[in-house]
Amino acid sequence: NGYIAHTNHFIGQRALCVKDTFVNTVANSVYRLMRTDQALRRWDGRISVEEIKVMLRDHYGKPHSVCCHVNPDIAKDMQSETVASVIMDLDERSLHITKGPPCESEYTKYTLN
């Protein structure tokens, strides 16, 4: 339908051909994909950079949300967080980038020549 959402587990026919142990240990990958996919479907091809920013700042399931934050209840070597966010507008040839989680940072726009 003109968009791609990505998290970190196998889906579709390929999922039937591999043993995906990652999704067993990081199940939030499933609902993060669901949240981004729902947002993209809702906008039905009429999506703006501002709407994508809202999607990437989503905290459903926090701390293991689309905008991921450190969970102090787990071992340090298993912690993760969103450290940057990148939106590419291919028509405009621009990048919108945060340094740090998108909920705590403003996007800086870079235009490519």
Distance CA 39, CA 108 (A): 23
CB hemisphere CA count around 15 (13 angstroms): 10
Per-residue pLDDT tens over the stretch 68-105: 999 999 899 888 899 999 999 988 999 999 999 999 99
Is the pLDDT confidence value at 67 over 70? yes
Distance CA 16, CA 66 (A): 25
The residues pairing with 112 across neighbouring beta strands, listed in sequence order, are none
Cis peptide bond N-terminal to 101, omega within 30:
no
Look at residue 65 in the predicted model and tell me its pLDDT: 93
In DSSP notation, 54-89 reads HHHT--TTTTSSSS----TTS-GGG-----EEEEEE
Is the pLDDT confidence value at 110 over 80? yes
Q: Can you tell me the mean pLDDT for 9-20?
A: 78
Is the pLDDT confidence value at 1 over 70? no
Is the pLDDT confidence value at 45 over 80? no
